[in-house]
């Protein structure tokens, strides 16, 4: 590195002083400065050289260490399994299971790392077995992506989600004259491509508009048993209730003998779908959220022909005239020993008759929603629950005609095992309901509610296992009850677990001067006091009138 250049003794005495050097000393110092500057340049050059060598040495060391990396010794099969864990999470309960392909996500991202990873990724068909495409905008890249996925997935079962909406009624500056002009050409190519692979589709979500079936000839007829591997089908359509659309929907459903889960959301009447044959036998989930609903007799036909059915979400036909045309006394009663979840939306006039014919001993989740001016079928619901002897864990009752006293009787019957309770958020809970859902600190043994005959007494410490609760309240009427509820149900005392895991309180109140600010501050103070002690707890407070739109503590 070179020897350090020392200052001559004849000028060193000037260092660290304010003494001015003489003319002779200035000449000596000037020569010395030139030597020191050159010496510094030499050292900097040597430092740059050594730094470059250091970087090279570190890089070389890392490259050689990589030769001994355990990843290089992993078999291709294990690498494939690791790659599968990199795929985006799939929510099978949703209509759209996964986002569209992106170069920033697996599997495309895995093909950009190195040649070996690309080879393994392309050679792993399961990496390419899930595809979500929105072909509504007519992009030509969708056809290329679809072909890429179908080729690389080889023959493994597929999970497909296709969204195809029709374009504007005007085509090329003029009004469209055919259904083919409503649907983008790229979307037609994508749909035509997938038709030949229906035999290996395991889960399928189709979001269609009216012209699609008529615009794509290959979709107009689906052969029997062509969807032999199909287990989960989501249909979200805006079809008209015409013979062609009904025939196509029926043929698609009936082409899947192994169908387990059916979700149908449409403006058309699903009557031809419900009146099926062999596909009922293996059905475990059915969700018929059609605009017009299904007749009651088809609902019972569905239950009788689906012995493995576990979850049923039904919108029943809301035509009042249908109730008079239905021969309820001639319909056989149904006891379904496997059904665990029932969600039923109907007219008030239907519900009582439906409940009289049902017995569901395995039921754990009951959701009833009605509209109309008829009285709430109070006795029929009590009879259904007593006859079924089911232990409900989830209860949702939504009706304009149900009184709070009736609600309290139901809660008294099911309070021992109830885990989730959903009350209407548009309806203000009364003081009776607030007292029921708020634990009472004083120890009172047992009371009988409303002196109702045949209704057993229940303890004042109600709903002891409740974890989820949703309700609406007018805080200007029950502000103290609301504060007591949050303190007793949501706050955690030292060494105790929270009573609720999730609570949603919707505040219903007119705009009253001073109330919003007072309630705003008091609720903020309560939220700040929520303690978790390792337990997950969510408290959500919403309102359309207060200064805040939503408080969430999680």
What does the block give as tokens for 178? 């055919």
CB 194 within 8 Å of CB 143: no
Q: Mind spelling out the 3-state secondary structure of 256-311? A: CCCCCEEEEECCCCCHHHHCCCHHHCCCCEEEECCCCCECHHHHHHHHHHCCCCCE
pLDDT at site 459 = 43
Higher pLDDT, 316 or 244: 316
Tally Cβ neighbours within 10 Å of residue 182: 19
Q: In this predicted structure, what is the pLDDT of residue 448? A: 42
User: Residue 415, exposed/middle/buried by CB under 10 A (0-12, 13-18, 19+)?
Assistant: buried
What count of other Cβ atoms lies within 10 Å of the Cβ of residue 34? 9
CA distance 349 to 376: 9
> What is the DSSP annotation of 406-440?
HHHHHHHHHTTT--EEE--TTSBPPHHHHHHHSPP
pLDDT value for 254:
78
322 vs 368: which has the higher pLDDT: 368
pLDDT at 447: 41
CA pair distance 372, 367, nearest whole angstrom:
17
Q: pTM of the full predicted structure?
A: 0.74
Query: Three-state DSSP class for 176?
Result: coil
- Predicted local confidence at residue 493, as pLDDT: 54
Residue 174's pLDDT is 44
Strand segments, DSSP code E, in 440-537 are 468-473, 502-507
| pLDDT for the residue 172 | 47
Contact 91, 205 (CB under 8 A): no
The region of weakest confidence among 42-56, 124-138, 258-272, 439-453 is: 439-453
Question: Nearest 5 degrees, angle CA 16-CA 22-CA 28?
Answer: 80
Model confidence pLDDT, tens digit, residues 292-315: 677 788 888 888 888 999 999 888
Q: 96 phi and psi, to 5 degrees?
A: -100, 110
Strands (E) located in 20-172:
130-134, 158-164, 170-171
- Tens-digit pLDDT profile for residues 178-227: 555 556 666 777 878 888 888 898 988 887 765 666 666 666 666 666 88
Interval 467-476: pLDDT, tens: 888 988 887 7
pLDDT at 220: 63
Mean pLDDT value across residues 456-464: 56
Query: For 499-526, how does the pLDDT look when each residue is reduced to its tens digit (9 = 90+)?
Result: 677 888 887 765 555 555 556 556 666 5
CA 240 to chain centre: 29
- pLDDT score of 341 more than 60: yes
The share of the chain scoring above pLDDT 90, in percent, equals 16
Q: Which of 529, 448, 463 is nearest to 500 (CA)?
A: 463
> Which backbone phi and psi does 277 adopt, to 5 degrees?
-125, -110
Residue of 160, 140, 141 whose CA lies nearest to 150? 160
179 DSSP 8-state letter: G
Do 260 and 254 touch, CB atoms closer than 8 A? no
Coil/strand/helix, residue 142: helix
Q: pLDDT grade, residue 58 (50/70/90)? A: very high
pLDDT digits (tens, 9 = 90+) for 101-151: 888 888 999 999 888 899 999 999 999 998 888 876 656 678 888 889 999
What are 267's two structure tokens?
């403006």
CA dihedral for 296, 300, 306, 310, sign (positive or negative): positive
CA nearest neighbour of 395 among 481, 463, 491? 463
State pLDDT tens for residues 526-549: 555 554 444 566 777 777 665 554
The distance from CA 169 to its chain's CA centroid, rounded to whole angstroms, is 34
Q: Does the structure show a pLDDT above 70 at 445?
A: no
Over the chain, what is the mean pLDDT? 76
- Report pLDDT for 125: 93
Asked if residues 236 and 192 have their Cβ atoms less than 8 Å apart, the reply is: no
Over the stretch 264-287, which tens digit does the pLDDT of each residue have?
Answer: 876 655 555 555 555 667 889 988
Residues 388-399, buried b or exposed e (16+ Cβ, 10 A)?
A: bebebbbbbbbb
- Over range 226-230, report the average pLDDT: 85
Neighbours of 337 (CB within 10 A): 9
**With contact defined as beta carbons under 8 Å apart, do 436 and 469 qualify?**
no
| Cα distance between residue 133 and residue 145, in whole Å | 9
Helix, strand, coil shares of the chain, percent, nearest 5, are 40, 20, 40
> Strand 261-265 vs strand 285-288: parallel, antiparallel, or unpaired?
parallel
Please tell me which residue, 22 or 516, carries the higher pLDDT value: 22
- Which pLDDT score, from 0 to 100, does residue 315 have? 82
Of 163-172, 405-414, 477-486, where does the model show the most confidence? 405-414
Instruction: Give yes or no for residue 455 having a pLDDT over 50.
Output: no
């Amino acid at each position: 590195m070179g020897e350090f250049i020392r200052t001559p003794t004849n000028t060193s005495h000037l260092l660290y002083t304010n003494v001015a050097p003489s003319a002779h000393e200035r000449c000596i110092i000037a020569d010395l400065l030139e030597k020191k500057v050159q010496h510094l340049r030499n050292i900097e050059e040597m430092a740059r050289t050594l730094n470059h060598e250091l970087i090279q040495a570190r890089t070389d060391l890392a490259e050689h260490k990589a030769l001994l990396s355990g990843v290089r010794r992993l078999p291709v099969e294990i690498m494939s399994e690791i790659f599968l864990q990199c795929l985006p999470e799939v929510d099978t309960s949703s209509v759209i299971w996964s986002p569209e392909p992106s170069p920033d996500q697996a599997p495309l991202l895995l093909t950009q790392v190195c040649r070996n990873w690309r080879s393994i990724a392309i050679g792993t068909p399961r990496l390419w077995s899930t595809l979500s495409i929105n072909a509504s905008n007519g992009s030509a890249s969708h056809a290329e992506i679809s072909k890429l996925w179908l080729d690389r997935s080889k023959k493994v079962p597929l999970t497909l989600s296709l969204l195809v909406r029709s374009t504007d009624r005007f085509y090329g500056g003029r009004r469209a004259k055919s259904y083919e002009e409503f649907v983008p050409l790229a979307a037609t190519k994508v749909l035509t491509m997938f038709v030949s692979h229906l035999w290996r589709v395991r889960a399928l979500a189709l979001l269609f508009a009216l012209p699609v079936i008529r615009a794509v000839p290959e979709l107009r007829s689906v052969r029997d048993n062509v969807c032999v591997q199909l287990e989960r089908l989501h249909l979200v359509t805006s079809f008209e209730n015409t013979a062609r659309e009904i025939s196509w929907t029926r043929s698609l459903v009936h082409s899947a003998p192994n169908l387990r889960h059916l979700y149908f959301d449409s403006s058309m009447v699903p009557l031809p779908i419900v009146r099926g044959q062999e596909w009922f036998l293996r059905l475990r989930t059915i969700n018929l959220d059609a605009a017009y609903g299904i007749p009651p007799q088809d609902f019972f036909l569905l239950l009788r022909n689906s012995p493995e059915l576990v979850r049923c979400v039904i919108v029943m036909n809301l035509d009042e005239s249908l109730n008079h045309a239905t021969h309820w006394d001639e319909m056989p009663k149904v006891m379904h020993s496997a059904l665990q979840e029932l969600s039923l939306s109907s007219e008030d006039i239907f519900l009582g008759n439906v409940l009289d014919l049902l017995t569901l001993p395995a039921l754990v989740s009951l959701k009833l929603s009605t509209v109309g001016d008829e009285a709430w079928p109070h006795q029929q619901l009590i009879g259904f629950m007593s006859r079924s002897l089911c232990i409900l864990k989830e209860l949702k009752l939504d009706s304009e005609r149900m009184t709070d006293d009736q609600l309290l009787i139901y809660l008294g019957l099911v309070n021992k095992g109830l885990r989730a309770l959903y009350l209407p958020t548009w309806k203000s809970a009364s003081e009776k309901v607030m007292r029921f859902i708020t634990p009472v600190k004083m120890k009172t043994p047992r009371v009988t509610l409303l002196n109702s005959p045949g209704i057993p007494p229940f303890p004042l410490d109600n709903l002891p296992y409740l974890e989820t609760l949703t309700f609406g309240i007018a805080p200007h009427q029950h502000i103290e009850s609301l504060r007591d509820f949050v303190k007793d149900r949501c706050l955690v005392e030292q060494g105790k677990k929270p009573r609720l895991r999730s609570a949603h309180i919707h505040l219903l109140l007119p705009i009253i001067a001073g109330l919003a600010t007072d309630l705003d501050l008091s609720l903020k103070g309560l939220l700040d006091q929520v303690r978790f002690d390792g337990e997950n707890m969510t408290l959500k407070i919403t309102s359309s009138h207060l200064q805040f739109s939503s408080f969430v503590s999680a």
